[in-house]
Structure 1
Amino acid sequence: MAKQTIKKDDPKSLSRYFKGVKSELKKVVWPTRKELINYSIIVILAVIAFMLLFLVYDKIIMFLLSSFIYK
């Protein structure tokens, strides 16, 4: 079984690539507008929740460091 090599400068390889991209994009199941809005809200809320969680952790660590180390 021989390997087929494709030259990088071959114009057919570039057109074959874009045809493959186009055919793969046709297989994608895109979310509806409602799903997209719901997913976006979930992501924004998760980011805010983690931000608040890390803020609390940071304040606790800074309080402990300032209490015990920087006396």
Structure 2
Amino acid sequence: MGAIKKPTNTSGQKSTEKATEYFRGVISELKKVQWPNRQQLLTYTGVVLVAVVIVAVLLWIVDSGLSFLMTKLLG
């Protein structure tokens, strides 16, 4: 087997320069984000919570039904 080669930096930039460039890009992109206002945030949070409750209830119903069937079948 051959020796494992250490990756080389072919672009000529140092790691710190690359990291700085990356975080500048991240900050630039975050400035473009349209953040929700307080009312939108509360509305979206409410929608998510209602959806979670509905899915939880549906899973509980299916689980209870399957448990009941298994109890009747296996005795």
Q: Normalised by the shorter chain, which TM-score bucket?
A: 0.7 to 0.9
Distance apart, 1:9 and its partner CA: 4.6
Give the Cα–Cα distance (whole angstroms) in 2 for the partners of residues 20 and 5 of structure 1.
21
**What amino acid maps onto 2:71 in structure 1?**
S
TM-score (norm 2): 0.79
- The one-letter code of the counterpart of 2:23 is F
- How far residue 49 of structure 1 moved from its aligned partner, in angstroms, is 0.6
Q: Secondary structure at the match of 2:30?
A: helix
- Equivalent-residue separation in structure 1 for 2:13 and 2:48 (angstroms): 40
Matching residue of 1:31: 36
Structure 1 runs (4+) greater than 6 angstroms displaced:
none
Fraction of identical pairs, as percent = 34
Question: 1:5, CA displacement in angstroms?
Answer: 3.1
Higher mean alpha-carbon deviation, 45-54 vs 7-16, is at 7-16
* 1:13 Cα deviation after fit: 1.0
The CA distance in 1 between the partners of 2:64 and 2:52, in whole Å, is 18
Unaligned stretches of 5+ residues in structure 1: none
- State the match for 1:67 in structure 2: 72
Match of 1:49 in 2: 54
The aligned residue for residue 58 of structure 1 is 63
Larger relative CO (CA 8 A, sep 6+): 1 or 2?
A: 1
**Equivalence for 1:21:** 26
